[in-house]
Chains A and B, each alone.
Chain A
Amino acid sequence: MLELRSITAGHGRGTPAVRDVSLTLEPGTSTGLLGPSGCGKSTLARVAALLHRPDRGTLVLDGTPVTRWRHRAPREQRTAVGVVFQQPRLAADPRLPLHDLIAEPLRACGRRPEVRTRVPELAGRVGLGADLLGRRPHEVSDGQLQRACLARALVLRPRWLVCDEMTAMLDASTAAALVGVVEEYRADTGAGLLAVGHDPVLLERWCDRTVHWSELAGRTP
Chain B
Amino acid sequence: MTTGPRTPGPRTPGTQPPGTQAAARPVLRVHGLSVRFALRGGRYVEAVIDAGFELAAGECLVLVGESGCGKSVLASALLGLLPGNAQTAGTALLDDGLDLLAADERTLARTVRGRRIGLVPQSPAAHLTPVRTVRSQLEEAVRELTGAPRAGRRAAAEAAAARAAFPTGHLDRHPHELSGGLAQRAATALALVGDAPLLLADEPTTGLDRDLVHRTADELRAHTRDGRSLLMITHDLAAAARIADTVAVMYAGRIVELAPAARFFGAPGPRHPYARGLLAALPEREFTPLPGNPPALSALPPGCAFAARCPAAGPACAERPAFTGGLACHHPAVPEPARA
Contact = CB atoms under 8 A, between A and B. Distances in A.
**Real complex partners, A and B?**
yes
A141 B68 contact: yes
Contact of B179 (A38, A129, A174): A38
A38 B292 contact: no
A130 to B, nearest CB: 11
Contacts of A165: 207
Interface string B179-206: 1111000000000000000000001001
B207 A37 contact: yes
Contact of A202 (B177, B278, B283, B292): B283
Contact of A140 (B68, B123, B203, B207): B68
A3 B62 CA distance: 43
Contact of A198 (B6, B65, B208, B282): B208
Contacts of B12: none
Contact of A170 (B67, B123, B208): B67
B212 A127 contact: no
Interface residues of B, number: 38
Contacts of A36: 209, 211-212
Nearest to A200: B210
A18 to B, nearest CB: 13
Contacts of A38: 179, 181-182
Interface in B44-74: 64-69
B67 A141 contact: yes
A167 to B, nearest CB: 9
A172 B179 contact: no
Interface stretch (A68-76, A99-107, A175-183): A175-183
B206 to A, nearest CB: 5
Given A129-B293, A131-B296, A172 B237 contact: yes
Nearest to A169: B206
A85 to B, nearest CB: 10
A175 B287 CA distance: 9
Contacts of A42: 179
Interface string B274-288: 000111011110011
B208 A127 contact: no
Interface string A105-134: 000000000000000000000011101100
B332 interface: no
Contact of B209 (A37, A143, A180): A37
A205 B287 CA distance: 8
A127 B293 contact: yes
A142 B278 CA distance: 17
Interface residues of A, number: 39
B208 A143 contact: no
Contacts of A202: 283
Nearest to A178: B289
A199 interface: yes
Interface centre among B282, B289, B299 (most CB of A within 10 A): B289
Contacts of A132: 296
Interface centre among B6, B182, B235 (most CB of A within 10 A): B235
Given A202-B283, A205-B283, A174 B210 contact: no
Contacts of A142: 67-68
B170 to A, nearest CB: 9
A46 to B, nearest CB: 13
A36 B112 CA distance: 36
Given A131-B299, A143-B67, A173-B278, A89 B237 contact: no
A132 B206 CA distance: 25
A93 interface: no
Interface in A183-210: 198-202, 205-206
Interface in B1-45: 6
B293 A171 contact: no
A37 B68 contact: no
Given A37-B181, A127-B292, A128-B293, 12 more contacts: A37-B179, A38-B181, A38-B182, A129-B296, A132-B296, A172-B279, A173-B290, A174-B289, A177-B289, A199-B209, A201-B6, A205-B283
26 contacts: A13-B177, A35-B209, A37-B180, A38-B182, A86-B180, A127-B293, A131-B296, A132-B296, A140-B68, A141-B68, A142-B67, A144-B68, A169-B207, A169-B235, A170-B67, A171-B64, A171-B65, A171-B235, A171-B281, A172-B278, A173-B289, A175-B283, A198-B208, A198-B210, A202-B283, A205-B287
